[in-house]
Chains A and B, each alone.
Chain A
Amino acid sequence: GENVEQHPSTLSVQEGDSAVIKCTYSDSASNYFPWYKQELGKRPQLIIDIRSNVGEKKDQRIAVTLNKTAKHFSLHITETQPEDSAVYFCACSIYNFNKFYFGSGTKLNVKP
Chain B
Amino acid sequence: NAGVTQTPKFQVLKTGQSMTLQCAQDMNHEYMSWYRQDPGMGLRLIHYSVGAGITDQGEVPNGYNVSRSTTEDFPLRLLSAAPSQTSVYFCASSPLMTRGPSGYGYTFGSGTRLTVV
Q: What B residues does A99 contact at CB under 8 A?
A: 33, 45, 48, 58
Distance, CA A89 to CA B41, complexed state (A): 11
Which partner residue on chain A sits nearest B113 by CB separation? A41
Q: Which of A43-51, A61-69, A73-81 contacts B (4 or more CB under 8 A)?
A: A43-51
Q: What A residues does B96 contact at CB under 8 A?
A: 98
- Chain B interface size range: 20 to 34
Q: Contacts A32-B97, A43-B90 known; A100 to B110 CB distance under 8 Å?
A: no
Other-chain contact of B106, A9, A46, A103 (Cβ < 8 Å)? A46
Given contacts A46-B107, A96-B98, 18 further A-B contacts (CB under 8 A): A1-B59, A9-B40, A32-B97, A42-B110, A43-B109, A44-B108, A49-B102, A49-B105, A91-B43, A97-B97, A98-B31, A98-B50, A98-B104, A101-B59, A102-B35, A104-B41, A104-B42, A105-B40
Q: What A residues does B111 contact at CB under 8 A?
A: 43
Which partner residue on chain B sits nearest A105 by CB separation? B42
Distance, CA A1 to CA B59, complexed state (A): 8
Q: Report which B residues bind A (CB closer than 8 A).
A: 31, 33, 35, 40-45, 48, 50, 58-59, 90, 94, 96-98, 101-102, 104-111
Assess the B42–A43 pair: CB atoms within 8 A: no
Other-chain contact of A51, B42, B43, B102, B108 (Cβ < 8 Å)? B102
Q: What B residues does A93 contact at CB under 8 A?
A: 97, 104
**Which of B43, B58, B59, B102 has most chain A Cβ within 10 Å?**
B43
Assess the A43–B45 pair: CB atoms within 8 A: no
Assess the A104–B31 pair: CB atoms within 8 A: no
Distance, CA A51 to CA B102, complexed state (A): 8
Which partner residue on chain B sits nearest A35 by CB separation? B105
Q: What A residues does B31 contact at CB under 8 A?
A: 98
Q: Contacts A43-B90, A99-B48 known; A89 to B43 CB distance under 8 Å?
A: yes
